[in-house]
Amino acid sequence: MKNFNKSIRYHLLLILCIIAISIAIFTLSNTDMIYILFATSVSVVSILVSIFLHLQLITFKTELLQSDVLTKNQTCRLKMKDAIIDLSNTMLEVSSINKLLNTILKKVIEVIPEAEYGSILVMNEEELLEFHAIYGFDERLMLLKLNPEETYQWKATKGNFNSPIIIDNLIEYSVDILENTTLEAMNEIDTLTLRSSLSAPLLIDGKFYGSINIDSVSSNVFNQEHIKLMAYFVNQATIAIDNHNLYKKVLFLSKYDGLTKAYNRNYFEEIFETMLHKSQREKESVTLVLCDLNKFKEINDHYGHLTGDAVLRHFSIQFSSQMRKSDLFARFGGDEFIAVFFNSNSIQTKSKMELIYKDILSNPFLTSESNVPLYSEFSYGLAEFPKEGNNMKTLVHIADKRMYERKEK
């Protein structure tokens, strides 16, 4: 703009000079006034055209500059679109939430190239923030845990961290709010050289889950456009995390009983036959045990179904804790459970079951209202493979019959 104003002044001065020269020529010579006016008019028009063209050039350059900015923003948005598509595909491929978070962080930094460092903090069960993903930092940062009040996000928002924020005096925040031990640890791994940061919260079901943070050693590198990009990306990342958690839950429920956390019947039947064939090849004895809680209906009728559910959970935890990892334990239906002891004959398994029985009876469930002890007394029946049957159907039938004979006694 400065050069443009200088150019305009130059052209106007040129017009005045031409007019002055024309007047001088008319005064000092006998040249016809018409020719002088014509020549002067042509000169002035030429200069005005030059000014117009110069204006057009300035406008074109401005539009070109704006176009470059637009192209840059469009490039960011195209990168974001690709990142979101990759994130959606990755969501179903990754085996852990940490891998998903690392992918999310990588995509954020791809979309906002001004970022030199990055991290994702997640709130744990102790309500401390843990680093679950980092970019550019020393791996030792993953060992640190922060109290939420030690974070600059908490300080900057006074504990109301619910939207993206930019911090440009990061060092001052760090020195003011970090505990000495944390400050020393972060200083040792050279994380206090950062000048500016853009941080956004991850809210899952309206609750604070963690935050995505991108940082730079330079000051004032993030702006409102970056905030918009981050806000949109965090929204998509939140959906990805939420969907991943939902996927994990569906995957869990496809294998486990939602109430007792034991294997469900379908998954048990799926893996039992495979494991039975393996034991058959290796000529190992396997004992199947079917269990049924005694007087469980009375517990439901007297204390309610919520207490009944709690008793089932308590029984499942107590029983499975006495088993080896190589054995199987599942909820067979209602208050019935099934257990399989590999490389164990019926005599060995019966001895084991007596120990489990005594342990469960010595650790009753206590009701929350009145602290009344509810004893998970149960009946069980055994069937041995391959001595008494070579498939699940036969073994369950034998064990079921023996269980009810025991229950009648």
Return the minimum-mean-pLDDT range out of 42-56, 117-131, 177-191. Answer: 42-56
Nearest to 380 by CA among 358, 359, 402, 352: 402
**Can you give the residue range of the structural domain that contains 344?**
265-408
Q: Please give the Cα distance from 365 to 151 (Å, whole number).
A: 42
Q: Is residue 83 part of a domain?
A: no
CATH code of the domain in which 213 resides: 3.30.450.40
Q: Please give the Cα distance from 90 to 95 (Å, whole number).
A: 10
SS3 35: helix
One domain, residues 129 and 237: yes
Three-state SS string over 75-129 comes to HHHHHHHHHHHHHHHHHCCCCCHHHHHHHHHHHHHHHCCCCCEEEEEEECCCCCE
Nearest to 185 by CA among 136, 141, 247, 153: 141
C-beta of residue 244 within 8 angstroms of C-beta of residue 91: yes
Per-chain mean pLDDT for the chain: 80
Choosing from 49, 77, 105, the residue where a domain stops is: 77
User: Tell me, what's the pLDDT at 12?
Assistant: 55
One domain, residues 215 and 277: no
Q: How many domains does the chain have?
A: 3
For residue 401, how many other CB atoms are within 10 A of its CB?
A: 13
Q: Please give the Cα distance from 406 to 289 (Å, whole number).
A: 13
Does the structure show a pLDDT above 60 at 279? yes
Q: Please give the Cα distance from 409 to 260 (Å, whole number).
A: 28
User: Tell me, what's the pLDDT at 41?
Assistant: 53
Give the tokens for residue 350: 């019966």
One domain, residues 158 and 55: no
**Phi and psi of 376, rounded to 5°?**
-85, 65
pLDDT tens digit sequence for 280-324: 898 999 999 999 999 899 999 988 999 999 999 999 999 999 999
One domain, residues 103 and 236: yes
One domain, residues 110 and 240: yes
Choosing from 208, 224, 253, the residue where a domain stops is: 253
User: Tell me, what's the pLDDT at 67?
Assistant: 47
Q: How far, rounded to the nearest angstrom, does the alpha carbon of residue 70 sit from its chain's CA centroid?
A: 30
Does the structure show a pLDDT above 50 at 63? no
Contacts 24+ apart (CB under 8 A), 283-286: 284/342, 284/343, 285/343, 285/344, 285/345, 285/346, 285/384, 285/385, 285/386, 285/387, 286/340, 286/341, 286/342, 286/343, 286/344, 286/384, 286/385, 286/386
Q: Dihedral angle at the C-alpha atoms of 102, 103, 105, 106, nearest 10 degrees?
A: 110
Q: Average pLDDT in the 207-235 region?
A: 89
User: Tell me, what's the pLDDT at 369?
Assistant: 72
Give the tokens for residue 183: 């400050």
Q: Please give the Cα distance from 210 to 200 (Å, whole number).
A: 9
One domain, residues 182 and 71: no
Does the structure show a pLDDT above 80 at 80? no
Q: Is residue 101 part of a domain?
A: yes
User: Tell me, what's the pLDDT at 392?
Assistant: 92
The DSSP string of 343-382 is T--HHHHHHHHHHHHHHHHTSPEEPTTT--EE---EEEEE
One domain, residues 380 and 239: no
Q: Is residue 260 part of a domain?
A: no
Q: In the sheet that 336-342 helps form, which strands lie side by side, from edge to edge?
A: 328-333, 336-342, 286-293, 378-385
CATH code of the domain in which 353 resides: 3.30.70.270
Q: Please give the Cα distance from 269 to 292 (Å, whole number).
A: 18
Tokens 């050289």 sit at which residue? Answer: 193
Q: Please give the Cα distance from 131 to 263 (Å, whole number).
A: 32
One domain, residues 332 and 401: yes
Give the tokens for residue 397: 């039938």
Does the structure show a pLDDT above 60 at 261? yes
Does the structure show a pLDDT above 90 at 24? no
User: Tell me, what's the pLDDT at 174?
Assistant: 65
Tokens 């110069």 sit at which residue? Answer: 54
Q: Please give the Cα distance from 43 to 11 (Å, whole number).
A: 11
User: Within the chain, what is the greatest distance between any pair of CA atoms?
Assistant: 144
Q: Is residue 84 part of a domain?
A: no
Does the structure show a pLDDT above 80 at 64? no
User: Tell me, what's the pLDDT at 68?
Assistant: 47
Return the minimum-mean-pLDDT range out of 44-48, 175-179, 181-185, 394-398. Answer: 44-48
Choosing from 228, 253, 278, the residue where a domain stops is: 253
Return the minimum-mean-pLDDT range out of 82-91, 211-220, 244-253, 273-282. Answer: 82-91
pLDDT tens digit sequence for 132-190: 999 999 898 898 898 888 888 888 888 888 889 998 877 776 666 667 777 677 777 76
One domain, residues 229 and 119: yes
One domain, residues 52 and 105: no
Q: Is residue 309 part of a domain?
A: yes
One domain, residues 226 and 294: no
Q: Is residue 131 part of a domain?
A: yes
List helix spans (H) across 254-376. 265-281, 296-303, 305-320, 346-361
**Residue % of the chain over a pLDDT of 90:** 38
For residue 212, how many other CB atoms are within 10 A of its CB?
A: 24
Does the structure show a pLDDT above 80 at 325? yes
One domain, residues 136 and 208: yes
**Residue % of the chain over a pLDDT of 70:** 74
Q: Is residue 9 part of a domain?
A: yes
User: Tell me, what's the pLDDT at 185?
Assistant: 75
User: Model's pTM, two decimal places?
Assistant: 0.59
Q: Is residue 89 part of a domain?
A: no
- Which residues lie across from 236 on neighbouring strands? none
